[in-house]
Amino acid sequence: MATFKDRLTEIMLNQKILTAQKLQEALDIQKKKSIPLREVLLKEGFIDESRLISVLSDSLYIPTLNISNYHIDSSLAGLVPERLARQYRLIPIARLGDTLTVAMTDPLNIFALDDLRIITGFKIDPVIALEKDILRAQGVMYQHKGEEVPILGEEELKGAPSSAIVQSGNTLELDNPQDNAGAAPIIKIVNLMVSEAIKKRASDIHLEPQEDDLRVRFRIDGDLVDVFRIPKKNQNAIIARLKVVSGLDITEMRLPQDGRFKIRLSNKEIDFRVSSLPTHLGQKLVLRILDKSSLCLGLEALGFSPQALLLLKEAIAKPYGMILVTGPTGSGKSTTLYSILNQLNTPEKNIITVEDPVEYQMAGITQIQVKSEIGLSFASGLRSILRQSPDAILIGEIRDAETADIAIKAALTGQLVMSTLHTNNASQAVVRLVDMGLEPFLIASSLIMSSAQRLIRLICSHCKEPEKPSEVVLQNLNINSSARFFRGKGCSACNHTGFYGRSALLEILMLDDIIREMIVKRETSEDIEAYAVNSLKMKTLRQEALEKAREGLTTLEEVLRVTT
């Protein structure tokens, strides 16, 4: 199958847009800079974008669209995640039956088209549009603003939060505005970022140096959203301010650093974990927001199904053994494990963790930070923990066979051990331990429960409405077309995404004698899962997600996105 580069090269020659010599010159630049050929042709002035679009349209029989004259339907934002739209420079334009029309800069990008089909469940009908028009339309669709992301200047800072953040050691306090009326503009910008992030329920703040400014983005319900831009002249001062309050070395700009700080807001403490990364345009910072109050709500507040919650509570009630929570980064594993620790944390228990990094600081629990540079690894930390007479142990992640071996032996000698693995489902975690070289009989004897977790977005209750899913989506999920489903139309409460908040999905594999025997016999993860589903009535992640869709909590498109 021809790539976009191959087809573009062919078209440029056949249509006599470029001579062979000019085209080779463009290809040499493309190879040297490792950027797409289309970008080389435009940036180096070989052809203007309007002409390129016209040529592609005529050659590929794909229509063009002037988005600037087109009404942007913000309700379509719920069909295509913003990160996907920005990655591939595309935007959904219209939906008719089981077909979704998408404006693209690169209509031959097979990866983009395949991702769109899988995530949306629709047939994709591409049209070609100018990149600047697509980017402007994305700003409207995903932020519901008819203008570009604002750049903060002195005037805009007058609208910063009335409360100012004042440093007190590594704890930042929100004080009375009268005490901070003369706060410097840089402090006001930091105040604005932190306050807005908490207000918008963000999990992370990203400060990303660009050529002309400093871009600020929030991760909300799993997706990054542009919030505002800060003038380039303020970049270094803002980065320095955040590094100071985080306890980082402001003179070190060549190496990554990690730090943290706290704020007090409305009588509660919120932790921020800060990571710096040197780039060619300056230091990039990511602030992870860690609200400990969410852990105090209990396991019930995480959104697990009644069956999953019952099985989880049954597992953590065991006096010893191993519990595994698996899933990709950002699937909520840490929150689940910290919530379990919070439930187990009683005066009569000695609970110790070894983590990299320590995310939530919890009173009454001994927490160890891995420091590989001085030889304090998960394995060495775990060995030391076992000499401290623990009742329960949390290992941030099982990364190697040595850590896994010590963890399993600890689980067999009277400790409740909890940890995470990066696998796609619950049954694969068992096989992963075998692949690490551990004896199957030890795994079978020590493991209580293996689980897989994902986070699924919830429909905004303010703009929820009935929806008739496309036949493609229904067929992909193998469900009855007569069932009733919902979607979020998009409103100001949900930033016109149709989603507000997330809920956890948990696939739980509880081990019985037959599964233990299957592990000893080294049977495949597929065989173990098939037995668990058919004989133990285990609900897979897909089944858990569909249950939430049937309850009207999420959309079928979201089910496909999370469980595909």
Phi, psi of 166 (to 5 degrees): -120, 135
Q: Is the preceding peptide bond at 357 cis, omega within 30 degrees of 0?
A: yes
Helix (H) or strand (E) holding 23: helix 20-33
Of the candidates 287, 199, 204, the one whose C-alpha atom is nearest the C-alpha of residue 239 is 287
Cα dihedral angle (109, 112, 118, 119), rounded to 10 degrees?
Answer: -160
Bridge partners, residue 273, by sequence: 260, 288
Three-class secondary structure of residue 82 per DSSP: helix
Please say whether the beta carbons of 164 and 175 come within 8 A. yes
| Domain made up of 299-457+503-540: CATH architecture | 3-Layer(aba) Sandwich (3.40)
Tens of pLDDT along the chain (564 residues) come to 445 556 667 777 676 677 777 777 777 777 776 666 667 777 766 777 777 777 777 777 888 888 877 777 777 887 888 878 888 889 999 888 788 899 998 887 888 888 888 777 788 999 988 888 888 888 888 764 433 455 555 444 444 443 434 444 455 554 444 444 444 577 777 878 888 898 889 999 999 999 888 999 999 998 888 888 888 888 988 998 898 888 888 888 899 999 988 887 777 778 899 999 999 999 999 999 998 776 666 788 899 999 999 999 999 999 999 999 999 988 999 999 999 999 999 999 999 999 988 888 888 999 999 998 898 999 999 999 999 999 999 999 999 999 999 999 999 999 999 999 999 999 999 999 999 999 999 999 999 999 999 999 999 999 999 988 887 788 888 887 778 899 998 888 887 888 999 999 999 999 999 999 999 999 999 999 999 999 999 999 999 999 999 999 999 989 998 998
Side-chain half-sphere of 367: how many Cα atoms within 13 Å? 16
Three-class secondary structure of residue 507 per DSSP: strand
Per the listing, tokens 């379509």 go with 76
**183-291: in CATH 3.30.365.10:** no
Alpha-carbon span 421 to 430, nearest angstrom: 10
Lookup: tokens for 35 = 């950027």
Alpha-carbon span 492 to 60, nearest angstrom: 39
Whether the predicted model's global pTM rises above the 0.85 cut: no
Please say whether the beta carbons of 423 and 446 come within 8 A. no
| Domain made up of 4-141: CATH architecture | 2-Layer Sandwich (3.30)
Helix segments in 94-158, DSSP class H: 110-120, 131-143, 154-157
Helix (H) or strand (E) holding 189: helix 185-199
Domain residue limits, the chain = 4-141, 183-291, 299-457+503-540
On the 0-12 / 13-18 / 19+ scale of CB atoms within 10 A, 350 is: middle
